[in-house]
Structure 1
Amino acid sequence: MSGARRSALLCAVTLLAALPVTTGCPPPPKKPTCGWLAESPEPGAGRLAVLVDVSTSTRSASGLGSPDYPTALRGRLEQAVGAQRTVAISPFSGPSGNLSLTTRVTNWKEQATNPKNLEGKRDDAADCLTDDVRQARQTTPGPGGTDVLRAITQAAAWLRADPKAPTRELVVATDGLVTHGCADLARSTSRGEQEIDAIVTECLKGELGGNDLDGITVTMVGVGHPSADQPMPSTAQARWLSDLWAALCGAAGATGTPEAVAVPDTDTAGTVPAPNESVQDPPVRLGTDAVAFSLSAALFDTGGWTLRPEAAPLLTAIAVQIRSRPYTRVVVQGYADPRGGDVDNQTLSENRARAVADALAADGVRSPQPRGMGATRTCFNGTPVPATETSDAGLQCLRRVDITAS
């Protein structure tokens, strides 16, 4: 039996087993015709540039949990098609941010006169652009980190190339986690407006021009949303990151404030290629520097380790601060003043550390590690207490529990 006959028979048998009333094989999904879109840009048409971040931080090993940029951008692409804009789509990664633009002229109204055919052309254009985004997502990332800002300034040059364009819009699908250039966040503390102002000032020294985005509307899609394999910014950190990009775009003259659009995750393995193991990008943790708290022994019963009621709200507040950042290690250290015996001091410090660790765990802190440190002669701030000091008040800073999250 020939290969063709065997395939036809197999198809018929499969269909008969699943759907007895159906005959023949279903037609393959219709693939849009895109050749008519691949034209030179027309002067005077609105322009849309779409940048797709393909750096390591946007890719999970399985593909599951990677930002689904084609789905997130679909509505924006349909709007551009409806307005018959010229659309340029490019992946970017690496420190150069070099773009490889795929340009489409979406003049679907000129392709037919029949209303049904026109509708089909419009849908084909949106499908083709979505496929371009999907294809861009398959691009192998470049080495050496990510420079989103450099890619943005290159796309802006294309948007300004037609002085007659009535609209200029830039959409950047990225987690916003820069690891190269003036906005490098690999060691950022993400601590408020002061750091944002400093980054903007540094970028304006040469990497960002005050007029680079004049007349351009900027939309950021997926800022603060890396792949599932990366450190995930907290809500506060993601908000800080959005504020940073708003400040950078505003400093370059962008129209309005960049809209931070949410992005779904991929739910099919293999949809996005796995990270290239030869490309090593530093992870961006956004301010996971160690933070420390100290609790006075006054929160315990005298000579004991039972927490007093007034300790509960204080520990809950500390637990919330720890939970709001991506800390992976929490150590609880108990101390005693040197007046008691070594054994008693060790037991007291261990039990007080354990009591605090248990309270933090009850408030949602993962696996706090209690440690009894015994007696000490140094306060929480590093100030030593003289050996001649024996008063209860003078030794108070030694009787404490310290909490360190990192």
Structure 2
Amino acid sequence: MRPDRFGRIALAAVTVAAFGAAAGCGEGDGPQDTCAAVAGPAPTGVGRTAVLLDVSASTRGAGSAPDWAAEVEAQVAAAVDREEVVSIGTFDGSASTVAWAVRDRVTAPTSKRTNNQRLEREKTKFCLRRSASEAARTPARTTGTDILGALGVAGGQTAPAGEARRTVVIATDGLGTVGCTDLSRAPAGGAALIEAAVRDCPARTGWPAELAGNHLVMLGVGHPAEGQPIPETGQLAWLRQYWRRLCAAAQAASCEVSTAPVAVRSGGGGGAGQPPTDPPVSFRPEGGPPLPEPEGTVWPVPSAALFATDSDEVGQAGIARLGQIRKEIGTARVTRVEVIGYTDSRGGDRHNQDLSERRAAAVGVVLNGLGLPTPVTRGAGETGRICLTEQRPGGAWDEDCLQRNRRVEIVISTESG
């Protein structure tokens, strides 16, 4: 064996040993010691990501069940790469039973050497992956699935981020059975149920106002455990639109609702004993989406941030806002961009339709100039409103409600979906 080859093998062995120790794999290293977070308050001015895993009964079963730890792994790794503060927890049928397995974990490496920083990141990812896997086996404490309650708690966990990026990742089948989004009360599906949820839920106790300004990522929607009713293709599309509209109503910075197939694990992924029940959710035969529903992450942008009143010219502040969205997308390979314009219900139908089309086209031009693929643009006029009470009981217009309806939605599809 040549000396240089021997040296490379020895260096590789040292590197593997170092990573094993960093990841908690070395002999004699207790997992609590190697994965213990550094004591002290979380830093301010950095991004925050809160991850919640649905451990309610509909995600459990004697057979296969969603592997939530595998589903959130990429999102957690991305948060570590962004050097954010990460929290990981579980939820079931009540906001009061949200339990944090990891809270305010600082992920920024402390070493000044590039190679050691890489090792620190890999250790952090390993530890968070293991914590998520352990948390996913937590048994449910209450009956039902309270998704809105979980989103409110997670949004509160990211609140100290200030101007930095805030992200809520929730792994759930999306089959809420508690409160305003209880889909078990009657067969789900159709436009009327979406409109009712968007109209009524923001005024109800438990509405997740803390979600405003967060990037929301929902994974596993429409994929309960084996033995539960499985939504059909059109019903999956309805669920995606249902949660997208509620996400937009909560004024999230972006809304990604994934109904893509999920990784599964055998044995239901639950703890010992019989979990509390979760009422089954059934769907109407015509439970497909009432409107065309593009794939991808939705970025809702208020028209006031882009245009002057009744104008279709993107102002300087709007160009800056679109530039920030382009920056947030980062290096992901964008495969498709769709821009949809919306107006409030004031004015004639023809005028609203024309204005929404012109505004969508104007935003498309700016995004194309920022290096994104040529967008598909369309106007939706006053359809797809996210606030339905535009007029108060006395007849006066509610300007806050009108502003929420006047918007442009940018739908970004990337190579990974």
TM-score by length of 2: 0.57
1:325 aligns with: none
Note the C-alpha offset of 1:158. 1.8
Contact 1:218-1:255 within 8 A present in 2 as well: yes
Note the C-alpha offset of 1:57. 0.6
1:47 aligns with: 48
Q: What pairs with 1:323-334 in structure 2 (closer than 5 Å)?
A: none
Quote the Cα distance in structure 2 between the aligned partners of 1:207 and 1:87.
27
1:153/1:119 CA distance change after superposition, 3 Å:
same
Quote the Cα distance in structure 1 between the aligned partners of 2:267 and 2:182.
30
- Alignment-mate amino acid for residue 164 of structure 1: G
Contact 1:98-1:151 within 8 A present in 2 as well: no
Quote the Cα distance in structure 2 between the aligned partners of 1:277 and 1:210.
30
1:131 aligns with: 130
1:104/1:95 CA distance change after superposition, 3 Å:
closer
1:82 aligns with: 81
Quote the Cα distance in structure 2 between the aligned partners of 1:257 and 1:202.
20
Alignment of 1:69 onto 2:68? yes
Gap regions ≥5 residues in structure 1: 1-26, 290-406
1:146 aligns with: 145
| Poorly superposed stretches of 4+, deviation over 4 Å | 27-32, 208-211
* Cα-to-partner distance string for 1:41-83 (whole Å, 9 max, x where unaligned): 2111100010100001111214xx2111111111111111111
Note the C-alpha offset of 1:277. 2.6
Quote the Cα distance in structure 1 between the aligned partners of 2:227 and 2:245.
28
SS at match of 1:225: coil
1:263/1:172 CA distance change after superposition, 3 Å:
farther
Contact 2:52-2:89 within 8 A present in 1 as well: yes
Note the C-alpha offset of 1:282. 1.2
Higher helix share: 2
Contact 2:48-2:166 within 8 A present in 1 as well: yes
Gap regions ≥5 residues in structure 2: 1-20, 287-417
1:274/1:89 CA distance change after superposition, 3 Å:
closer
- Alignment-mate amino acid for residue 56 of structure 1: A
Note the C-alpha offset of 1:144. 2.2
2:93 aligns with: 94
Q: CA RMSD in A?
A: 2.7
Alignment of 1:166 onto 2:152? no
1:234 aligns with: 232
Task: Determine what percentage of the aligned residue pairs are the same residue.
Answer: 32
- Of 172, 178, 181, 2:179 maps to 181
1:156 aligns with: 155
Aligned residue-pair number = 259
Contact 1:58-1:66 within 8 A present in 2 as well: yes
1:179/1:166 CA distance change after superposition, 3 Å:
same
Note the C-alpha offset of 1:271. 7.1
* Cα-to-partner distance string for 1:150-204 (whole Å, 9 max, x where unaligned): 11111112211x1535110000100011111111011333332211011222212
Alignment of 1:277 onto 2:274? yes
1:109 aligns with: 109
Note the C-alpha offset of 1:261. 5.8
- Alignment-mate amino acid for residue 282 of structure 1: P
SS at match of 1:131: helix
1:38/1:236 CA distance change after superposition, 3 Å:
farther
Contact 1:58-1:67 within 8 A present in 2 as well: yes
- Alignment-mate amino acid for residue 272 of structure 1: G
- Alignment-mate amino acid for residue 68 of structure 1: D
TM-score by length of 1: 0.58
